[in-house]
Chains A and B, each alone.
Chain A
Amino acid sequence: MDQIPNDMTALVRDVAHAAPGYAGSLDEVYRRYRRRRRSRAAVGGVLALLLIAGVGLTIDHRPQRTSRQPATQTQTETKPTAKRAQGILVHGDPRLKGGVKITGTFWDAWPDRVVTSFDIHGVTWDGAVALPGGRVVAVERGAGGHTWSLVEVDRSGTTLLRRELPASKGEPMSLLTADESTAYVWQERSLVAHDLATGTERPVLEIGTAPIQAVDYADGRLAVAGLSADCQLNFGRGKPIEALVAAMPPELKCGSVTDLRLSPDGKAIAVAYRRMDRDEQRVALLNLPAAQVLADQKVTATSADQVRLAWQDNRTLNGVVVPAGTWFSVKY
């Protein structure tokens, strides 16, 4: 289709003209440019070369630093890392507007699919992760948009932890993932491990300037997908982490990766992706490190839906389509 009817053209232009005009400034553009240039210099040429080569991961074992503010309530009980099924946190109640109150529906008990609901109050959450046992860890943005706090609640909605994270010069922070003891927070271009019990922080890795689409990190294993057109996946494991890279197998015709999840034993990865040649969402299970296809399945979802993944065990993946709420399983 090359010709666009005039009434459609007029309609789209009317919507655009009704939108508020650009309120930024050239000074802001130059400021962003200078900040990018400084950040790139700090990251260093070696990392940039690694990233171009498709590796792009580096692990930092520098001494820990402590969060500036203590928690108002501290989780004192340190639970052992249980190899339970992974959980999925689903938001999307269409009745809620404005981002003031967020209701989380947490699917905790595998494989019985018992759904436990609880309410969480927050202004804006930049990432939330459900933990086995019904706890939820989230990063909450302050009202001014310049402060971020780590929040942990239990399934009853009781706040177990609220701790302001160190400021990051106004740069956004986001919770990427978490386990029983540690929250992994994205700050500028580095991933920081934040100890839930003590508040100490440890830089884990830096990834150049490439935008990240999806990440999973657990038990020293890391998987990152960027926005590259070939759906490149970056993996790391071991101590120190050995970085390696793999592209999605070409026969899958991946257009973009939307979510990924490492299996509990780290021998496979589940990847939710969109096809490059049609509007279709699929989930592939790949073995590691070869990234060979173990299973590949179409997901009944529209292009606007999100697909969230969690492993039931080392060979069975479950997923949910949001906001439809339909579940599916893939085995290998």
Chain B
Amino acid sequence: MQHDNFEAFYRANVDRVHRALAVTLRNDDLAREAVDEAMARAYANWPKVSGMESPAGWVFRVGLNWATSWWRKVRRERPQGAEDSSIPAGDESSVVAREALAVLPLPQRAVVTCRILLDLSTAETALALGLNEGTVKSRLSRGLSALRSALSEKE
């Protein structure tokens, strides 16, 4: 059947892709809409998507593209700080970590979350985000370096 195994894929991956998008976008509501939209597109193209090396990476990228396309237009008109209004405060260490992650530019956060939260390899991340492997490596390196630097400043 055309949509065989889609439901199983959805149930196995939707939460982690959602969390990866929430961390990348710093907006939980937008992340939920983005993952819903991307999952709907995955369902529409399931015969093709299911054959990919990383369907979850594909969903992440589609969700990220959808969110940043829509978000950029809206974001232009919003004051700084509106991004993370929907994320709960959490304990002190998680607040410090979240603020440190917020320092990273979105392209670096996307690479970091793909590598860590979606468990994608460098090659899979490059494929999922439409980058070459060198760019993935440099963004990861710079992102982690900036993250460590931001953490040490806060300590």
Q: Which residues of A contact B (CB under 8 A)?
A: 1-2, 4-5, 8-9, 11-24, 26, 28-30, 32-33, 36-37, 91-94, 96-99, 102-103, 124-128, 138, 172, 174, 176, 211-213, 227, 229, 258, 277-279, 302-304, 306, 308, 322-323
Contact = CB atoms under 8 A, between A and B. Distances in A.
Name which of A5, A18, A127 has the most chain B CB atoms within 10 A of its CB: A18
B81 A96 contact: yes
28 contacts: A1-B141, A2-B137, A8-B116, A12-B117, A13-B116, A14-B94, A14-B97, A15-B94, A19-B19, A19-B23, A20-B22, A20-B88, A22-B32, A29-B10, A29-B39, A33-B43, A91-B78, A96-B80, A96-B81, A98-B79, A98-B85, A102-B79, A127-B73, A227-B69, A304-B105, A306-B75, A306-B76, A308-B76
Interface in B84-109: 85-88, 90-91, 93-94, 97-98, 100-101, 105-108
B130 interface: yes
Contacts, number: 179
A33 B147 contact: no
Contact of B97 (A5, A15, A212): A15
A22 B101 contact: no
A247 to B, nearest CB: 16
B41 interface: yes
Name which of A258, A304, A323 has the most chain B CB atoms within 10 A of its CB: A304
Contacts of A308: 76
Given A32-B39, A126-B73, 10 more contacts: A1-B138, A8-B116, A15-B101, A16-B19, A24-B18, A96-B80, A125-B74, A125-B78, A213-B69, A303-B107
Contacts of A17: 19
Interface string B122-155: 1000000010100101111100100110010000
B87 A94 contact: no
Contacts of A33: 40, 43-44
Contacts of B56: none
